[in-house]
A and B are shown apart, each in its own frame.
Chain A
């Protein structure tokens, strides 16, 4: 993983750093199981979407790569879901809206914005640090127990971002993984 991108040219690094810190803090401090937490997550996703995409941040991959990478990740999540004796959460429209919205918002922030902002330091740094940040912000709400699984899942999602060249691949896999908890 030696590919390095050019430094962000569309906006200043301090702004990117401020956005990254504020977004991570907002996600880490969000209370569990409230509409406020959902609103905070959407706001952070919106912030990640407002930040201009960094041009030429990596080589482009094709549609086939996107499909293969997305399928591999969903397959991994589904395999674990099927092998785990955990009863699903009861289905509700509220739960469905929340898990889908949160998945998209988090992927916009971590894989669209943060990954791209880190990419000038190398792909490995972008993959690992964005996955680490993803896992860390979930600890306050879910406990230290979820850190290993969220770090591993974050690595899968960040790898998808790298291998597919798009944040939409991890977003689709994240949505699928979240829906598996209520299906």
Chain B
């Protein structure tokens, strides 16, 4: 093989490996690559006083999932501000005679209007009611496969909860702290909320040590870069 074809061939092999790894990890959610980015401001239904002056009304979502013989199509329903999403697998809702679609809605609600949080916890953002009904008949649509619920939280959520009759049920949520998101799968739709423990009990903040190490190492890296540049110039000029 020539150098060029060797490079392209190697690259194609690496791209295939990347694709297999990414697709293998595609559920639960994954992005092409993870990168640091700031979290957007949280929009509250009922904001705490300190956030009230800048608060914006949280957005809802509504989407129709087309029905085929095998059921509904795979799709994601996301609120306009990205604070809540529901990910439905293919066939999540079974087909019904004369029905062509399932209408899914996600509505933000004040969690205090639903129920108090479990003992020792605090609601960390809005609750979201996820509902689905067959478009023509208005009959409630029940998912037959787990639905992935993704909620953005406000401060430091550790639990994803679903309201079941008179209790909050934990969904064994997974945290994506960089994006201030928590996600988990649920066998039913309903009302979901992210909860956190008291802020004082979260434990020592990673701030001081992490910041000192990170900034110190960054400064050391810059100094090393300057030394490398200065040393290189000096050798060139003396040579």
Binding site for B on A (CB under 8 A): 1, 10-12, 15-16, 18-19, 22-23, 25-27, 29-41, 43-44, 46-52, 59, 61, 65, 68-69, 72-73, 76-81, 83-90, 92, 94-95, 98-99, 102-103, 138, 141-143, 145-146, 148-153, 155-156, 159-160, 162-163, 174, 177-178, 180-182
Contacts and interface: CB of A to CB of B under 8 A. Distances in A.
B155 interface: no
8 contacts: A22-B220, A84-B26, A86-B30, A94-B40, A103-B35, A142-B178, A178-B35, A182-B37
Given A16-B228, A46-B225, A80 B36 contact: no
B120 interface: no
Contacts, number: 248
A37 to B, nearest CB: 6
Interface stretch (B4-12, B138-146, B193-201): B4-12
A25 B217 contact: yes
A95 B38 contact: yes
A50 B226 contact: yes
Nearest to B220: A22
Contact of B228 (A15, A92, A151): A15
Nearest to B29: A86
**Candidate in B26, B33, B87 with the most chain A CB atoms within 10 angstroms:** B33
Interface in B192-239: 206-207, 210-211, 213-222, 224-229, 231-232, 235-236
A61 B2 CA distance: 13
A58 B87 CA distance: 46
A52 B228 contact: yes
B33 A150 contact: yes
B175 to A, nearest CB: 8
B31 interface: yes
Contacts of B227: 11, 15
B91 to A, nearest CB: 14
Contact of B214 (A19, A31, A95): A31
Among A11, A34, A146, A153: residue with most chain B CB under 10 A? A11
B177 interface: yes
Interface centre among B19, B37, B216, B220 (most CB of A within 10 A): B37
